[in-house]
Amino acid sequence: MTDVVIAGIGQTKVGELWDISLRDLAFDAIQDAVKDSGGLKPQALFIGNMLAPNLSNQAHLGALIADYAGLAGIEAMTLEAAGASGGAALRQGYLAIASGMLDVALVVGVEKFTDKIGPDVDTALATTSDSDFEAVQGMTPTAQAALLMRRYMHEYQVPRDGFAGFALTAHANGVSNPYAMFRKAIKLETYTKAEMVNEPLNLFDVAPNADGAAALVLTRRELIPTNFAHSLVKISGSASASDTLALHDRKDVLYFETAQLSAGRAMKQAGITLNQINFFEYHDMFSIYAALQLEAVGLAIKGQGWKLAADNEIALKGKIPCATMGGLKARGFAGGATGVYQAVEAAAQLRGPAGTNQIAGAKYGLIQSLGGPASTAVSHILQKLD
Amino acid sequence: MEIPRHWRLKQQRYSLVGEVCPHCDYKIFPPRDVCPNCGSEAKEMYPFNGKGEVYSYTTIYEAPSGYDANAPYTVAIVKLEEGPMITAQLTDVDNADVQIGMPVEMVTRKMRNDGDERGLIVYGYKFRPRLTVH
């Protein structure tokens, strides 16, 4: 199989972007990525998006965005896997190049949360859960995370602010990321005094919904010109796994098996072991998910994932730096764009220089996006090529 | 109005009817025809007795559209006596009194209104604290 490399990266700021439409957002990211690639011409467009049909009354994004970006004629489609849509689009782009069937693929993640406001957004988000047996009961993804967090704290005797470290690290890292929604560090006091959203989950345990778009140009290593402007980043591992959609159907509600399976397969493909991972861009839509991902991937024993945050091991100088550019918590939850933001940030990290957030000597990054409570997980290993 | 979609689920919503696997005796809710435990065909109907306990819960203050009439309400994952877990609202209980492990029993209640006077009313199962402990 051929080496798949990231030739171009692009991203918009993440935030409540009232002035920018869905198609303009995608186009901005695309322009930046194509320019960054040195003008490579994509033959296919793979889009990661969760909720446009619901929030913007707009489905069929493939044709729309290809047309709007001046790429009409190329093959174009959307990949949907709830919060892992961006990861799924990346996987599809990877498969297209790795198989040798395409030379250049454009992967775009885009989400416009602010096209609706209020309870309609909660209803839209609930479509990512089991409609007949979870959503109908008035369950929301945030409430699900809250009851998971409650059970976890009950089983493992986690102190009241045991999860604070996730928000503290994310916000500290967001300071130097010009694209992040939140760019101010927070104190422990801010976390402990924060308002409850769904007990025991507080305001700082949830990544806020936001608009954003990120894009990547993928190609074969041989097609990169010798005087290429950037260090090369290869996608060495790519995998996805699914579990029961409904959280209540899990064999073990507190174990994210998809995180384990997808990360494991990606690492096996890349030919590396866990201790070679230099940083982890996890799906910290909720702090409890970050803890559970750390455990399932194998970086912490079951029930101890929260300690990696409490002991600062996930900080830039820690044992396993996570959310190096702010994660979902400081970047903002840009829905289906998340998986692509993770790849763009990891690529920037590996290419260097990544400014204040640089992990010295980083060679391998693990990125993982989740759909629902890890009903889907998509993992990629990005590697810096010498 | 989504009548067919809800009508198809009457037996599950009103009577907690699931399946039992004839091969490994695993109790399945909702019905899915393939046993999640052993993978064989499982199409035998099985009525759950409605008793269970609270596995975890949280209270929702800002409800999704259609559920605000009830807010604040508590949603839980309930572990049914026969094994499977399900997601359900709790009812007839003070939100502050809910605890992990609380014994509960199934009742049929209004889930939501479709709003206008000609809209659909969706009924289904909720769970209340067990009135007598068995």
Q: Is B9 inside a domain boundary?
A: yes
A147–B75 CB contact, under 8 Å:
yes
In angstroms and rounded to an integer, the radius of gyration of the C-alpha atoms of chain A is: 19
- pLDDT tens, position by position, A29-41: 999 999 999 999 9
Using a CB–CB cutoff of 8 Å, tell me whether B99 touches chain A: no
B58, B73, B77: residue with CB nearest A247: B77
Q: Is B11 inside a domain boundary?
A: yes
Q: Is B21 inside a domain boundary?
A: yes
Spell out the domains of chain A, with CATH numbers in brackets: 4-117+209-223 (3.40.47.10), 129-206+235-384 (3.40.47.10)
Look up the ipTM and state it.
0.94
Which pTM was predicted? 0.96
Domain that holds residue B97: 3-129
Question: How far is A222 from A271, CA to CA, in rounded Å?
Answer: 21
Could you give phi then psi for residue B130, rounded to 5 degrees?
A: -60, 130
Closest to A317 in 3D by CA, of A347, A279, A349, A343: A279
Q: How far apart are the first and last CA of chain A?
A: 19
Q: How far apart are the first and last CA of chain B?
A: 41
Residues 6 or more apart whose CB falls under 8 angstroms from that of A131 comprise none
pLDDT the model gives residue B113 = 76
Could you give phi then psi for residue B66, rounded to 5 degrees?
A: 100, -15
CATH label of the domain that carries residue B50:
2.40.50.840
Q: Is B104 inside a domain boundary?
A: yes
Q: Is B134 inside a domain boundary?
A: no
The DSSP line for B29-89 is SS--SB-TTT-SB--EEEE---EEEEEEEEEESSPPTT-TTT-SEEEEEEEETTS-EEEEE
B87–A122 CB contact, under 8 Å:
no
Closest to A147 in 3D by CA, of A89, A200, A92, A75: A200
Chain A residues touching B62 at Cβ < 8 A: 119, 122
Is the pLDDT at B1 greater than 70? The verdict is no
Residues 6 or more apart whose CB falls under 8 angstroms from that of B31 comprise B12, B17, B18, B19, B43, B45
Number of domains in chain B: 1
- pLDDT tens, position by position, B35-78: 999 999 999 999 999 999 999 999 999 999 889 888 999 999 99
Question: How far is A215 from A83, CA to CA, in rounded Å?
Answer: 16
Q: Give, in degrees to the nearest 5, the angle at Cα A315 between A218 and A153.
A: 105
- pLDDT tens, position by position, A309-360: 999 999 999 999 999 999 999 999 999 999 999 999 999 999 988 889 999 9
